Structure 1
Amino acid sequence: MNRLVTVAEMTARELLRRRGVLLLLLLMPLTFWLIRRDAYVGQSVRSLLLGVSWAVSTAALFATGAARELEPRLRLAGYRPHHLYLGRMAGLWMAGLVIAAPFLLLTVLDAPELRHGGVAVAMLCCVGVAAPFGMLIGVLLPRELEGTLLLLTVVAVQMLIDPAGSGAKLTPFWSSREIATWAVDHTDDGYLARGVLHGIVVTALLVAAVAAVSSVRLRRRRHLRQLPTG
């Protein structure tokens, strides 16, 4: 447990101490909100949630890439694979909550007619899904350019796809749009239940995928080299 906490603190501290990066991560959700602010409030909330998802996913992508050089030394120090990926994920979740908190306050001050509890749950789903999603992309696509382009593609599809269509449920952040409908339009509780269930299932699947891929990669022990004998 202490090693998980250590990796989580290292990840969160690394992100939060880079103030320029943090400001840029905050700029994306704010821009999404401001662009849609003059339109229907529901559009601004949904855009804001996508902005938070993008920001946390991007932070996870770059944190995963930055940790590649550190991981071999931690493995030599006795850290096991699950210490590294679970600890990093916990740190990213903490950083994601820091990123999301001011935007929840923004909706409270700027849109008092919303169900703000629903907005908070939607942001939790965004952070919960985005951290392992960004990590998974970072593990599968070591080059950050390709990973960033894939994230842009996912966000674009999420913005353009019909949320009522059957294919929308296959997108990672559908839960936030479903919960946002409940929070903005005051619909029945089915929207909230479906959104929460989707967020939990997708988060669990992504965590399992990160665990599987990271375990295989970290157990290869590329940091060890067998010396020739004789």
Structure 2
Amino acid sequence: MATVILVRHGRTTANASGVLAGRTPGVLLDVVGRQQAVRTGERLAVVPVVSVVSSPLERCRETAGYVLDRQEGSPTTPVEEGISECDYGDWQGRTLKELSAEPLWATVQGQPSAVTFPGGESMAGMQARAVAAIRRHDAAVEAEHGPGAVWVAVSHGDIVKSVLADALGMHLDLFQRIAVGPASVSIVRYGTSRPEVLATNTDSGDLSWLRAAAPAADAAVGGGAGHE
């Protein structure tokens, strides 16, 4: 099985000002976000990745660039619409403080599977297309590069959370329990019998163990020995 490293983009000007950017063009990383992306690129430099797939939005392509800057070789760099930001419709561009007063806000927090953003997409639809895109790329990477291959997907907070929820076997209504910070790293392997979530929401720590970690078909009963 291949390994996918899920990276959220670094902090943006919209994040810092409490605005729901959505798919608004021209939203870029701020100074802190660039520093976060550099740090993530440095963490991933010890892992030879075969592909860096990015959401088409600028903040993700910027973050992907910092990852690619530290990679040797020539990873492929496709843009994937399936992992683009949720279409928040009429909510896009409004402040989170303002949106928290909307009746739909409580449903977003407690029952996201029932949410369709006015003028936008449903959260269930968002998860379905994101998971399908990640699994499609993962299968293609494994078919081309073998089960030990590692690749990166750079996307958005709600997208990464929804992919992790699926990998963890969680209902979408529980996905708000997952935190995904700016430029954080989460790691998933899809196996023949089940996905395996190796890490979530990390922003520090050595990842060199991914170079030598042999994917296992079965879970280690008792937890196993871990990596050195």
TM-score, shorter chain, exceeding 0.5: no
Identify, as 1 or 2, the structure richer in helix.
Answer: 1
Larger RCO: Structure 1 or Structure 2 (Cα < 8 Å, ≥ 6 residues apart)? 2
Asked which structure has the greater CA Rg, the reply is 1
